Chains A and B, each alone.
Chain A
């Protein structure tokens, strides 16, 4: 018979997981996935965006499982994403084909196509609505019916209307340079780890899946003083864009043969940033450049902040940390930052013992010298 030391790890973990389940269930209430999907739009959009997996259903499931913890829900989705095969890349999405639900410009009052407020919290007064405490399904029904009736009185367009980009209007005026389209196949940061200096396609991928808070904070820091980008929002648009994939076997790709596989709702931002350029006579001239931001769902703050950071990273010559691609790109991922911060909870007995030894040895040396 051998000696058996005290063992506890396995049992402790089991008990902890059980307790966690108890915490989720103890109120004796459950929330339907469908309920989360229809009432937690903002949260679902944020989870999908940060986890870079577009599935409202799975996001709702993750939110339920994570008891509403954003970092945990994103983590669940990312881990699930790792297990999914990726047989296709979509065709380039043209945001001009967006079915626009909301579209505004801070640069011009009269933009071609007009401003479209759509659904936004921007003009709500942030007062707690105590009526929501007792919202009944009858009152919801009634409200919806009224809304439908009101809508019928609105004159609708006969055909689907697409909105031109605000920037096109400025291009026509010569205020923006007409760049050649860069159709280099983007690098996939989930297939090849990010290497520096990075390409713009890599930067945009990292930023669009960045943690909303982190992207917003860094964008804000740049805007407030730690950066050299002062943009005007040329256009914010929210709406659904169609996704197509090419025929997997046909050698000759033809748009006619492409498959429509669904649509995703995105927020797209183009910020106009004045920059100094030297012209042919070696004189400084002001010109506009575009900062680009896009993310899954409706998350305008993140998309605008991303457009600022995109422009910052296009100008690495500036000394501010917001212009340093390693500083920005390596620290905004939710799973990475929350993971490494939380790893500090792991035991560090050995490393601490080693540190202790080092400090003691140095102290001993000092004492010996003093004596």
Chain B
């Protein structure tokens, strides 16, 4: 008994149902829309929310890029790419510019996205108020009542304890001046990319069964106090040891030869691009 799977794994009814949730999410920026999340052939917590969005909106002419923590070749990115490719046959790419659909875990690419692109972010914990309130019923009520004192208090307590806000990734944002939203565990460095983004940003949490969105050109602000402004990860005086880029999110590595700390672009396809540009420039020069 060998059966073929449908285009993009889901039956059309399921896709339609998920697309309806997506449309609602786009219509109410930052609001978490509950949806009947399916069990997928990959594990819950491994990108099933993002995958369900990808599979329900992908068409035959799409070009797909999948990244995990900045890397196209990361094992889980490869695994997701393989599943989507096997069930759709769409073209795959590692070039951010070439992709019409990008599924990503915990990073927004360094290259600015355009209005012809959709980025799908995988979300482990969609509820920004969960650290202050365990109950779903209560956090839902808080959102409805625009009660975000818990989120503010969390930042305030950090300032009292540590002298500054001490959030890591997943720093909460205000979307369209209405909903406080978990941007998924992207570094604070990427938060500004959500603001007035040209590309549609869709966020999917499979296990928690929520879909939410930041439509293009939406106001997105990171939560911060006037006297304690929002800060991003600092990479002052640091550069990528491969392509020399600065002003990008860097991974910290230890040089196995020297034992020194070195840095490297986290966005692997961006890094490769920079190198290729340099190679081309040099080639151009040598022809002159």
Give residues in A with beta carbon < 8 Å to B.
1-5, 7-10, 12-13, 75, 78-79, 81-83, 85, 190-197, 324, 326, 330, 335-336, 338-343, 346-351, 353-359, 361-362, 365-366, 369
Contact = CB atoms under 8 A, between A and B. Distances in A.
B145 to A, nearest CB: 16
Given A326-B134, A356-B252, A365-B162, A13 B75 contact: yes
A192 B21 CA distance: 11
Contacts of B137: 196-197, 326
A336 B279 CA distance: 47
A40 B143 CA distance: 49
B147 interface: no
B41 A79 contact: yes
Interface in B101-142: 105-107, 124, 134-137, 140
B37 interface: yes
Interface stretch (B76-84, B149-157, B195-203): B76-84
Contacts of A195: 34
B207 to A, nearest CB: 5
A354 B69 contact: no
B38 A82 contact: yes
B251 interface: yes
B276 interface: yes
Nearest to A357: B233
B232 to A, nearest CB: 9
Contacts of B82: 13
B166 A362 contact: yes
Interface residues of B, number: 71
B78 A354 contact: no
A75 B169 CA distance: 30
Contacts of A357: 168, 233-234
A340 B271 CA distance: 31
Contact of B37 (A193, A340, A341): A193
B40 interface: yes
B192 interface: no
Contacts of A350: 69-70, 106-107, 169, 185-187, 249, 251, 266
B254 interface: no
Contacts of B189: 354
B7 interface: no
B246 interface: no
A190 B106 CA distance: 28
A326 B136 contact: yes
A341 B68 CA distance: 18
Contacts of A362: 162-164, 166
Q: Which 7 A-B pairs have the closest CB atoms?
A: A339-B44, A343-B45, A78-B39, A340-B45, A9-B73, A355-B168, A339-B43
A264 B186 CA distance: 47
Interface in B12-50: 13-14, 34-41, 43-46, 48
B44 A358 contact: no
A367 B250 CA distance: 25
A350 B108 CA distance: 11
A78 B106 CA distance: 27
A344 to B, nearest CB: 8
Contacts of B140: 196
Nearest to A342: B43
Contact of A193 (B36, B48, B106): B36
A5 B268 contact: yes
